[in-house]
Amino acid sequence: MTSTNILIMLVVGLVVGALTGVVLNGMVGDLSLAIIAGFVATIIGAIARNALMGFGSGAGPDVSRIPLIATVYAAVASLGGSSVALEIATHSHDLMSTAVWIGALAGLFSTILVTMLMLTYELKPAEKEHTSKKR
């Protein structure tokens, strides 16, 4: 189940980031493009993950929900992923400087950070149950 969550988030984040780069090509600067692409990819990736895992897993809709505060932290984490994506695109070859690559990298790196955040959130309750059983 955890690997499915990761794959959903990464694929959706990469595609949404690239599509955001296509749509915003030439309209905004590179930094703004990276931040918008990372933020949109993060939010849509979280929505897609919650929707697909709630309906497809058979565990019920309440099992896979991520609370609002984790989503807010995810939006903040998307700023870091977007900044890294812009730096990598800037220091890479000329082919990497296009808006599509900046958006795709921003979406990918932002969703990587958000996925790590969500995994930490999901594993934390399991650790509490495990330590209480030892006593």
**pTM > 0.95:** no
Residue 42 exposure: Cα atoms within 13 Å on the Cβ side: 30
Structure tokens at 69: 């505060």
Determine the Cα–Cα distance for residues 129 and 50; give it in Å rounded to an integer: 24
Identify the sign of the CA torsion 123, 126, 131, 132: positive
Determine the Cα–Cα distance for residues 78 and 93; give it in Å rounded to an integer: 24
* Contact predicate 90/67, CB 8 Å: no
List per-residue pLDDT tens for the chain, 135 residues long: 577 778 888 888 889 989 998 898 888 988 888 999 989 988 888 788 777 766 655 555 555 556 667 767 777 888 888 888 888 888 876 655 688 888 888 999 988 888 888 777 766 655 555 555 555
